[in-house]
Structure 1
């Protein structure tokens, strides 16, 4: 007779397993509280020292603020760079990044990671203003202000806290999908961004040293709380981490891989690069020749008179309401808007296609347009219209071509190209109306504010349209093939 063999786990092992699980839970809880204290204790200590006006800290705050203001106030270029860097910790950019990260993870069906990012961002939006209202510390008063002093309280630094939380959260989400050798570099890059944002708040004279330190500490504490809560949520479903050092304990197969498909980021390799360089050289040559022809040969002909008469007529139609509308329209191709829309297109294209090709396409399109604009405008060096302009600080010799119009065609043309390639149905071709309507409208707004002549606008349209076509031709799959590639990538994600 065959005896039945009991292959179940012996009862004697159950207490051992329970003890091991309890020990793991206790260790994770201890690490979570330790991380929280690392941020909370320094923040509370700084708060008490600021409230009591501790002389050493007050002296350090005042001396650093005065010294940095003295070094920065004499360099407008340095102030511009500092303002650009400090925007990386601003509310608008933080909201954009967190929303894009959440949408990216939802598209990739990483709902738990998306919830972690969303909750972390929402808590940040609440915690920062509350802390400022409670402490209510006045801003530094420097001898030579270089930026407008914000109206809200100084302690803690909102930009520093935002940088810590936003880029720290992105780091935690990205770590499981990054190779071990690359992880230290990713951590270092994140630290550089966080420190740089904090330094800009000091250099611009809008925060004390203690404000920045408190912002980092409070941000680290909040990030530790949400990370610990996410770890507990993971283990509540019986999921065990594959990588012990993964801060969020993301289960195997649950990593937020950026581009899991095998689609090459740069199809054709060197050949594609050479083709794009040839296209850029051709666009630059045509723009430059046309610009020199218009400014040096045809300026006193019917074309020159047409340019000047159109500008004069449009300027005569100015009214307060129309001016507000035109200035708002012009903002749609402002540098910050172009960067924001381009970032959104790159991230969403990466999420939908599961390939680097859309992101590379967007970056090459926007960067190439900017380089072509600067190169051609420097060579042609056309003066702007000689009428009262509504835009201050414009370079006088950069009228040809219109940079705003070229940027509008580039970014909104890139949007249309991505929808046509990766969208479904005939409706997707209607998205061409976006650049077809917006770009000329922005061109009219640039003439209205007396920043450009009509021929400058036409040159901007030519630059943007040809460059977008070239980038789409060499960097994106033909219409229809992108749909099949995206479907295959979605199926691959479903098997993870």
Structure 2
């Protein structure tokens, strides 16, 4: 796997982009048959309960997965697999590719992500979408808190390697870059589908899928994370993204039902 990782990466990213575009095309075709009033924006007071319940459920389930985490420690089978794979990827990835990833991975760092989240929330607010702005903020902020909480539960140390191309402090499991990329780019795709220009919808889905693959992959190629860290980050991010979108859609549905009650 370590020998083939770099070769397989472009094909995995391309497959993710194609699947995203296909799913988006099917979703847009279904949406065209829905009612016009489906575009009512969510209300922030209806977003918070669903997000709070989802957050508590995921943290509670994470505690049940502690037994699984024990298999990731030193000397454990999954831990040995992670160590061997990390070393093999470091050995077989070309130096120029690792250098490129060392620059690209900073797209997912906390500071640029925070700045972008705040600026895009302001953009949504100025464009007349306060409900979506709050949904965007709560989804990304909630994921940051969730990831920090999960790291404190598992307390896994990062890979040890000779070549340090990125500074990666803190615990390793699950990957914060992976979960943040999943939520941020997933929410961008969702918002583009809901309120974005029609011409940008499918390209945004393809871009979101590419970034949700490339940013987590960069952490493995740079040996800042084990593969299982990244998989766990993608899973926790996808779960929180699903909760965020379902909460927004539920809020929209309840508001639509209230706004469009038949007269009399």
TM-score after normalising by structure 1: 0.39
* Match in the other structure for 1:293: 67
How far apart, in 2, do the equivalents of 1:298 and 1:343 lie?
Answer: 36
Residue 296 of structure 1 and its aligned partner are, at CA, apart by 1.1
Q: 1:347 aligns with which of 122, 127, 130?
A: 122
Are the counterparts in 2 of residues 342 and 366 from structure 1 also a CA contact under 8 Å? yes
How far apart, in 1, do the equivalents of 2:69 and 2:202 lie?
Answer: 37
- Structure 2: give runs of 5+ residues left out of the alignment: 1-39, 257-264
Q: 2:149 aligns with which of 365, 369, 375?
A: 375
Q: Secondary structure at the match of 2:205?
A: helix
Are the counterparts in 2 of residues 401 and 456 from structure 1 also a CA contact under 8 Å? yes
* Match in the other structure for 2:165: 390
Q: Secondary structure at the match of 2:108?
A: coil
CA distance 1:363–1:341, shift in 2 (3 Å): same
Structure with greater helix percent? 2
Q: Secondary structure at the match of 1:332?
A: helix
* Match in the other structure for 2:5: none
CA distance 1:429–1:318, shift in 2 (3 Å): closer
Establish whether residue 358 from structure 1 lines up as the match of residue 136 from structure 2.
Answer: no
Post-superposition Cα deviations, 1:138-171, rounded to whole Å, max 9, x if no partner, equal xxxxxxxxxxxxxxxxxxxxxxxxxxxxxxxxxx
Post-superposition Cα deviations, 1:365-397, rounded to whole Å, max 9, x if no partner, equal 1110110111110111011112234333612xx
Residue 351 of structure 1 and its aligned partner are, at CA, apart by 3.0
Post-superposition Cα deviations, 1:278-303, rounded to whole Å, max 9, x if no partner, equal 1011222334443x334313555553
Deviates more, 1:426-435 or 1:382-391: 426-435
Residue 421 of structure 1 and its aligned partner are, at CA, apart by 1.1
How far apart, in 1, do the equivalents of 2:247 and 2:48 lie?
Answer: 9
Are the counterparts in 1 of residues 161 and 223 from structure 2 also a CA contact under 8 Å? yes
Are the counterparts in 2 of residues 332 and 408 from structure 1 also a CA contact under 8 Å? no
Aligned residue-pair number:
214
Structure index of larger Rg: 1
Establish whether residue 435 from structure 1 lines up as the match of residue 197 from structure 2.
Answer: no
* Match in the other structure for 2:191: 418
Establish whether residue 281 from structure 1 lines up as the match of residue 59 from structure 2.
Answer: no
How far apart, in 2, do the equivalents of 1:446 and 1:473 lie?
Answer: 29
CA distance 1:432–1:327, shift in 2 (3 Å): same
Q: Secondary structure at the match of 1:363?
A: helix
CA distance 1:337–1:288, shift in 2 (3 Å): farther
How far apart, in 2, do the equivalents of 1:428 and 1:402 lie?
Answer: 28
Residue 407 of structure 1 and its aligned partner are, at CA, apart by 1.1
Are the counterparts in 1 of residues 42 and 132 from structure 2 also a CA contact under 8 Å? no
The aligned runs of 1:93-172 (5 Å cut-off) are none
Q: Secondary structure at the match of 1:366?
A: helix
Establish whether residue 403 from structure 1 lines up as the match of residue 181 from structure 2.
Answer: no
Post-superposition Cα deviations, 1:233-282, rounded to whole Å, max 9, x if no partner, equal xxxxxxxxxxxxxxxxxxxxxxxxxxxxx9664153xxx43321110112
Post-superposition Cα deviations, 1:46-75, rounded to whole Å, max 9, x if no partner, equal xxxxxxxxxxxxxxxxxxxxxxxxxxxxxx
Q: Secondary structure at the match of 1:386?
A: coil
How far apart, in 2, do the equivalents of 1:414 and 1:347 lie?
Answer: 15
Are the counterparts in 2 of residues 349 and 418 from structure 1 also a CA contact under 8 Å? no
* Match in the other structure for 2:232: 459
How far apart, in 1, do the equivalents of 2:165 and 2:212 lie?
Answer: 20
Are the counterparts in 2 of residues 345 and 415 from structure 1 also a CA contact under 8 Å? no
Residue 452 of structure 1 and its aligned partner are, at CA, apart by 0.8
How far apart, in 2, do the equivalents of 1:343 and 1:319 lie?
Answer: 36
- Structure 1: give runs of 5+ residues left out of the alignment: 1-261, 483-496
* Match in the other structure for 2:97: 322
How far apart, in 2, do the equivalents of 1:279 and 1:363 lie?
Answer: 16
Q: 2:113 aligns with which of 338, 355, 366?
A: 338
Are the counterparts in 1 of residues 165 and 222 from structure 2 also a CA contact under 8 Å? yes
Residue 328 of structure 1 and its aligned partner are, at CA, apart by 1.8
CA distance 1:317–1:431, shift in 2 (3 Å): same
The aligned runs of 1:198-347 (5 Å cut-off) are 265-268=43-46, 272-290=47-65, 292-297=66-71, 299=73, 300=75, 302-347=77-122
CA distance 1:365–1:264, shift in 2 (3 Å): closer
How far apart, in 2, do the equivalents of 1:264 and 1:431 lie?
Answer: 22
